[in-house]
């Protein structure tokens, strides 16, 4: 297991332990790590791709929740 893979797994645990209203803030970090993994020629686990997509959706929703009406 590479250090990059270990870092991704550690971030995954951290995301799962956060409150759902806050975890989207770690999406840019996860996306960056997954990009590094892809750039290194390693396969990106589907679970991590789905988590990244979910966090991205949550980040977009959070932007609209804070928009004045």
**pLDDT value at residue 60:** 92
Q: What confidence tens digit (pLDDT) does each residue in 3-47 have?
A: 999 999 999 999 999 998 899 999 999 999 999 999 999 999 999
**pLDDT value at residue 2:** 84
Domain residues for 32?
A: 3-65
| Integer Cα distance of 14 and 8 in angstroms | 10
Number of structural domains (the chain) is 1
Q: What is the pTM of this model?
A: 0.88
Cβ(30)–Cβ(11) below 8 Å: yes
């Amino acid at each position: 297991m590479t250090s990059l893979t270990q870092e991704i797994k550690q971030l995954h645990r951290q995301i799962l332990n956060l409150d759902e209203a806050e975890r989207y803030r770690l999406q840019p970090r996860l996306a960056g790590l997954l990009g590094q993994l892809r750039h290194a020629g390693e396969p990106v686990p589907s679970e991590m791709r789905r988590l990244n997509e979910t966090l991205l959706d949550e980040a977009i929703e959070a932007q609209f929740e804070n928009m004045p009406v």
